[in-house]
Structure 1
Amino acid sequence: MTITLQYTNVTVNNVDEAIAFYRDGLGLDVRNDVANGEFRWVTLGSPDQTGTEIVISEPHAGRSQADGDALQELLLKGQLPMLVFRTDDLDATFEQVRATGAEVLQEPVVQPWGPRDCAFRDPSGNMVRINQSS
């Protein structure tokens, strides 16, 4: 038996701003853009990693009003789980993401636990860390 990760979800306030960050800053490809009423679900993935995609959507997309409101509150507080990416050139990736105007939380640094990494907030406030691959 084998098992692999196919999708992970990222909640955002504005799908178009998120696309610009993840596509232009991180170099992900838009693979799917599906509208359903007033909401959209967009999947993005790395050209170097087929079969794994990030699904971005707004807090109320496919959820009850109460659940969407609760998720929106957590998003506004910056309390949703972070994403961690890996790159073979941290400095170049850092500069590419910074060029999008993303909020820099941490410039590239070697962490006490081992990896060299940096951190940003996407336009909705989600923390995105990027590690240098060894």
Structure 2
Amino acid sequence: MKIRLTTIYVDDQERALRFYTDILGMAVKADFSNGPYRWLTVISPDEPEGTELQLALNDNPAAKAYQQAMFQQGQPAVMFYSDDIKGDHERITARGGQFSMPPTEVTGSTIAQLNDTCGNLIQITQLARW
């Protein structure tokens, strides 16, 4: 088995699309509507056949409560891995991303967190080289 799709809820799909493509540098994999529903996914340009991240509209009360609680507790909704977290931090900051935690060394890795402007915290992790 493989993981092909994971979902995060966003409070605005257009704003999320701009953040994940313009700020983080991801690419659109799918974007189509069926009536009022929009299926929107992005991927890493480094892995065009890799795992898709669905940016689902947060119109489900249970999902919205979960999303808000995770954000208030400072828990990331998703984690991305980087081979150059300091370079990614500089690139994302230059594009307007706002980090709540700059690259910080912790046991076994360096992590950074930023707000996706759509109700989620995003963690970027670079594993330590042993």
* TM-score (structure 1 length as normaliser): 0.81
In structure 2, stretches of 5+ residues that fail to align are: none
* Mapped pair 1:47 → 2:45: yes
**Contact 2:103 / 2:112 at 8 angstroms: preserved in 1?**
yes
**Contact 2:6 / 2:53 at 8 angstroms: preserved in 1?**
yes
CA distance in 2, matches of 1:94, 1:127: 15
Runs of 4+ in 1 over 6 A off after TM superposition: none
Counterpart amino acid of 2:31? D
**Contact 1:75 / 1:124 at 8 angstroms: preserved in 2?**
no
**Contact 2:21 / 2:27 at 8 angstroms: preserved in 1?**
yes
**Contact 2:76 / 2:122 at 8 angstroms: preserved in 1?**
no
CA distance in 1, matches of 2:101, 2:53: 23
2:4 equivalent among 3, 6, 30: 6
CA distance in 2, matches of 1:104, 1:94: 8
* Mapped pair 1:76 → 2:75: no
Counterpart amino acid of 2:67? L
**What are the residue-to-residue correspondences of 1:16-35 with 2, within 5 Å?**
16-35=14-33
**Sequence identity of aligned pairs in percent?**
30
RMSD, aligned CA: 1.9
**Contact 1:12 / 1:58 at 8 angstroms: preserved in 2?**
yes
In structure 1, stretches of 5+ residues that fail to align are: 61-67
**What are the residue-to-residue correspondences of 1:84-99 with 2, within 5 Å?**
84-99=79-94
